Amino acid sequence: MNLMKAYSRLYERFGPQGWWPIRNEYSGKTKLSNSERFEICVGAILTQSASWKNVETALESLRRNNALDKNKISRIKLNKLALTIRSSGYHNQKARKLKAFVEFLNSGKKITRENLLDVWGVGKETADSILLYAYNKPYFVVDAYTKRIFSRIGLIKKDAGYDEVQEFFVRNIPKNTKTYREYHALIVRHAKEYCRKKPECDKCILNKDCKKII
């Protein structure tokens, strides 16, 4: 089993995912309006330690309150913003993170990984999600699902760090945003449906090559 073989099997099973969802629609767009790009950035922050379903609820709440806009988030009181995104969990911290991110956007600094990682509340996974999905830059996103699936298969160590896993993918799959987006989305889909914390191995299309390292 190698990464591209796994990718082929996942793609054959699930088809194109069209991730990242914008306004609850899965389109896989690469040409984005400023408002769509900003929505992806907000979603990337809100999805920290949260299910996407709860993030969608928070995004819809921001829309209802006419606050899914960087200028509105800049002006809105912190406690009101926190209540608006309550469904995403850790809402007080995430309200501060959104404020910090908007301050960064308004600073005029370039959208680079280094600069994003300097923003309070933006870690590697969030920065790479923003770069890949909002700005169409080739940064492979590593999440808990990635580590779960590929450590069970035996391609990476169970305790491998973010940078190590990311480098492994960068070395072994084509470096382009289309592949990076699709692979990440397929990993999420497979982990949610089959390679769960308690895996359904009998239904898994990667099963025959899996070392079942749980």
- Model confidence over 165-175: pLDDT tens digits? 999 999 999 99
Asked if residue 136 has pLDDT above 80, the reply is yes
Domain ranges in the chain are: 3-19+140-209, 31-134
Structural fold of domain 31-134: Endonuclease III; domain 1 (1.10.340)
Q: What is the mean pLDDT of residues 132-152?
A: 96
- Cα distances from 98 to residues 22, 81, 109, 198, in angstroms, run 18, 9, 16, 34
pTM: 0.94
CATH of 3-19+140-209, one of 3.90.550.10, 1.10.3720.10, 3.40.190.10, 1.10.1670.10: 1.10.1670.10
| pLDDT (0 to 100) of residue 26 | 65
Number of residues that this document lists for the chain: 214
Angle at alpha carbon of residue 188, lines to 39 and 181, rounded to 5°: 60
Half-sphere exposure of 201 (CA within 13 A, CB side): 11
C-beta of residue 38 within 8 angstroms of C-beta of residue 69:
yes
Cβ partners under 8 Å of residue 58, min gap 6: 46, 84, 85, 86, 87, 88
74: its two tokens:
């800049």
C-beta of residue 48 within 8 angstroms of C-beta of residue 120:
no
3-19+140-209 matches 31-134 in fold = no
What are the E-state strand segments in 49-187? Answer: none
The DSSP element (H or E) to which 22 belongs, if any, is: strand 21-22
| pLDDT (0 to 100) of residue 212 | 67
